[in-house]
Homo-oligomer: A and B are copies of this chain.
Amino acid sequence: MVRLNEIRAGEIAVAEPQQFDAGLIYIGRVHTPWTDRLACPRQGRSDGPLCRIELFEPWVAALDGLEAYARIEVLYWLDASRRDLVRQSPADDGTTRGTFALRSPVRPNPIGTSVATLIGIAGNILTVRGLDCLDGTPLLDLKPDRSLFTPIAPPQHGDFQTDD
């Protein structure tokens, strides 16, 4: 069962932060078939349903060139998730593990990352497969998949360092 807002047996919560260190802006919104957290996939699949990513202005011009990549990294903000658990029980069976050993949406900074298959771009709308988030999730960033991307900028010293 997906967590709504409960704390389960064995889970450990810490105090909510009193202030933030940096700020995010929502650059768009993700549209998926899932309007209920109890139906969302645990992990997106590359043959999953078509989803749409809507970009807001002034960021639409920043899409130019992204159509060349078959897969893109999508970062989004899991705004329905609590942020205060250090140990979680995904199966709700009394066993727990640390939050960083899970890909649960519940984390101190609830940033979701997916690698999506890019089907097409038309205006400010991208069509993709492979997402797993709720309909309406705020978008934070889009990047070419790391394995498909070759830096355009000239290499620097660090690119050649392999020693310790």
Contact = CB atoms under 8 A, between A and B. Distances in A.
A77 B14 CA distance: 22
Contacts of A47: 162
Contacts of A141: 100, 107-109, 111
A4 interface: no
Interface string A51-68: 000000011011111101
A62 to B, nearest CB: 4
B103 A146 contact: yes
A122 interface: no
A155 interface: yes
- Copies of this chain in the oligomer: 2
Interface of A: prevailing SS? loop
Contacts of A146: 43, 103, 113, 115
Contacts of A30: none
30 contacts: A2-B153, A14-B58, A20-B23, A20-B25, A22-B79, A27-B109, A33-B158, A34-B158, A38-B156, A40-B158, A42-B156, A45-B159, A48-B162, A49-B162, A58-B86, A59-B86, A59-B99, A62-B98, A62-B100, A63-B100, A65-B100, A66-B98, A75-B113, A91-B152, A100-B141, A102-B143, A107-B141, A107-B143, A109-B141, A113-B143
A140 interface: yes
A42 B90 contact: no
